[in-house]
Amino acid sequence: MLAVVKSEPSWDALPPETTWRLRELLSWCFRKEQPRRLREISVAGVYLEAALDEPTRHAVHETAPKSASAWSVIVAAAMAASLVTWMATSKARDPQPVTKVRVGLQPGKTLGVFYQGPASSISPLSRTAMVFLPDGRGLIFSAENGEQGQLYLRRLDERDAMPIAGTDGAIGPFLSPDGSWVGFRADGKLKKVPIEGGAARALCDLPYPPQGVSWGRDATIVFGQRVGPILRISAEGGLPEPVTTLQDEYNHLLPRFLPDGKRILFTSRSNRLARIGSWEGTNLVLQSLENGERKLLMEDAADGRFAPTGHVVFVRVGTLMAASFDPNRGEITGVAVPVVESLRQAINAGGIQRSNAAGQFSFSASGSLAYVPGGIFPPESSRLVWVDRSGDVEPLLAVPTGNYLGPRVSPDGDRVAVWKDVSSIWIYNISATTWSRLGSTETVHGLPIWTPDGGRLSYSALDDNLHWTLSDGSGPSEPLTTKGGVPLTRGMDP
């Protein structure tokens, strides 16, 4: 034991056939930090017993789960720089304890880093970062390797993950139905490569990272975009074509094929609520790719997927939910219940490109589930301050902490207009130290610009046009454009 405390054990000396479960158990027994070391042999016995029971596990009954513990062979989790796999066996009336297993990311460093522009501009976990192999024996995940994102293959019976050649800069992994190919986005293109690695094949141009991707049985790939409908391309490449139609909606995103390959689940965002940065009014929709018929499945739900247990699983404000689903009728047949109450979801993840409500979880065909805990991201917070030419900083009095963008000083230097919480414009009067909102939430959106005389402010409105109004808020909002398209302006000439 003294030797273990002084130095790391030689793990390579273990026989090659040593399973990953036994390696994990040994690592707990020989940790240097005493509080983290496994000291009770009874605990080790329970762990080994669970490992021996794994080959006999079965799927859950096709009834709605009464609680999270009613799921069979379901759970995996990832924390910080590691994936954690939970596996449970249970019957609906006889739930069993959950076994928790930690799976490292090494040599990857940070899970799911999203690079946008320079390497210093990153946002982790804004796209689904992992996908289970169909047989449940491994995971493919995206991680930062010190310089850029890359895909890794981590087989659960091996200690380390293997980088997948040909995936430099990759984010958002998704698998072909047979598990032989992995797709991803890199270098402004949607690509695919064999899971063993090799020369990547470009499928189509993709200037912005996709908002969810799914690969169907008929060699069709569908994906969401930052604004607009779901698009479809051949798995061999080609020009994307729309397969959904917006109905007073901002965008359709996070598509997932049903097992028949003829229907998809996708997330729909309300046009008005999306404009003000709200994730209320986000719904789960089922649509046929053959005739375009669509059906609302669940309100206030995002990132829905069909689970091999016979349920539709989705995320609701950081909670993984499940409901029984009849795939033949395409209908929810049970009450939705929580499965994981703190699942990482890309809400408040930093701008509309990163905040897409994607949940960090993935199912295998055998019923295992990998997920990242953490709930939604905390609301962004900032302060308005003056910075003089010498670099001294002075906070603006009477201005509360909030999420502020694009502050604009009036021509007379006595007022500051700012876009607050991606939903409204506020004006700070410096001499009077007052703080007031401009206009109505039904019209005003953001991106304020002063007229040269300071008498008016222009801004983008919820009708997708440029409006202006008197800067003291006393007059009505008047449109300056009528063609829509979320116009932006950087300034006004006299």
Domain end (from 26, 41, 56):
56
Report d(CA 458, CA 444) in Å as an integer.
10
Domain carrying residue 464:
385-479
Question: Taking a C-beta distance cutoff of 8 angstroms, is the pair 211, 168 a contact?
Answer: no
Question: Taking a C-beta distance cutoff of 8 angstroms, is the pair 45, 68 a contact?
Answer: no
- Verify that 165 and 72 share a domain, yes or no: yes
Cα–Cα separations (whole angstroms), residue 131 to 5, 151, 209: 37, 11, 17
Q: What is the DSSP string of 115-133?
A: E-SSTT-EEETSS--EEE-
Q: What are phi and psi of 118, to 5 degrees?
A: -65, 160
- Provide the pLDDT for residue 288: 96
Q: Whose CA is closest to 30, among 47, 8, 48?
A: 8
| In 239-359, alpha helices (H) | 271-275
Residue 85: which CATH number?
A: 2.120.10.30
What letter does residue 60 receive in the DSSP assignment?
Answer: P
Cα–Cα separations (whole angstroms), residue 187 to 211, 345, 466: 16, 25, 33
- Verify that 193 and 303 share a domain, yes or no: yes
Residue 142 lies in a domain: yes
Range 473-485 burial, b when 16+ CB lie within 10 A, else e: eeeebeeeeeeee
Q: Which amino acid is at 20?
A: W
DSSP helix/strand/coil, 181: strand
**pLDDT averaged per 10 residues in sequence order, the chain, 494 residues:** 53 62 61 49 47 37 31 32 33 48 72 54 70 87 82 86 93 93 94 95 92 94 92 96 91 94 93 64 92 93 90 92 91 89 81 77 79 80 82 80 84 89 82 82 73 89 79 84 61 52
Residue 492 lies in a domain: no
Domain end (from 323, 342, 371):
371
- Provide the pLDDT for residue 277: 62
Q: Does 65 sit behind a cis peptide bond, omega within 30 degrees of 0 on the bond before it?
A: no
- Verify that 320 and 392 share a domain, yes or no: no
Q: Which residue reads 């009067």 in tokens?
A: 429
Report d(CA 86, CA 368) in Å as an integer.
8
Question: Taking a C-beta distance cutoff of 8 angstroms, is the pair 111, 125 a contact?
Answer: yes
DSSP helix/strand/coil, 71: coil
Say what the alpha-carbon torsion angle 466, 471, 475, 477 is, to the nearest 10 degrees: 10
Question: Taking a C-beta distance cutoff of 8 angstroms, is the pair 212, 223 a contact?
Answer: yes
- Verify that 399 and 364 share a domain, yes or no: no
Q: Which residue reads 């066996």 in tokens?
A: 89
Report d(CA 336, CA 328) in Å as an integer.
19
- Verify that 221 and 148 share a domain, yes or no: yes
- Verify that 20 and 141 share a domain, yes or no: no
| In 196-292, alpha helices (H) | 271-275
- Verify that 81 and 12 share a domain, yes or no: no
- Verify that 45 and 84 share a domain, yes or no: no
- Verify that 331 and 310 share a domain, yes or no: yes
Domain count, the chain: 3
- Verify that 210 and 309 share a domain, yes or no: yes
> Rounded to the nearest 5 degrees, what angle is found at the Cα of 130, between the Cα atoms of 124 and 132?
170
- Verify that 315 and 290 share a domain, yes or no: yes
DSSP helix/strand/coil, 159: coil
- Verify that 130 and 244 share a domain, yes or no: yes
